Amino acid sequence: MVKTSSLLTQQNLYHVPIYTIADTARYLHIPLPTLKTWVNGRSYPTQKGDQDFLPLIQRPQSPPDSSL
């Protein structure tokens, strides 16, 4: 049985980022700018003014008190 520290419980272990965006893009064979747009969103110009493309993917966040 694997023991985890109190800060890194089994429940929040799945919310710790493991791969960088660049590594993920390479692994999935997706252009890096495309994946960055999916994660960060972006503004783009239109005839009616700038529009926002909202993020499609939410990155996991490390636990707030983690020392990882």
Domain membership of residue 62 (yes or no) is: no
Flag whether 58 is in a domain: no
Contacts for 38 with CB less than 8 Å, ≥ 6 apart = 55, 56, 57
Count of domains for the chain: 1
- List per-residue pLDDT tens for the chain, 68 residues long: 555 555 666 666 666 778 889 999 999 999 999 999 999 999 999 999 999 999 998 876 655 555 54
- Does 20 fall in a domain? yes
Q: Is residue 3 part of a domain?
A: no
Residue 25 domain boundaries: 10-53
Model pTM score: 0.61
How much is the pLDDT for 30? 95
In a domain, 27, yes or no: yes
Q: Which amino acid is at 53?
A: F
In a domain, 63, yes or no: no
pLDDT recorded at residue 41: 94
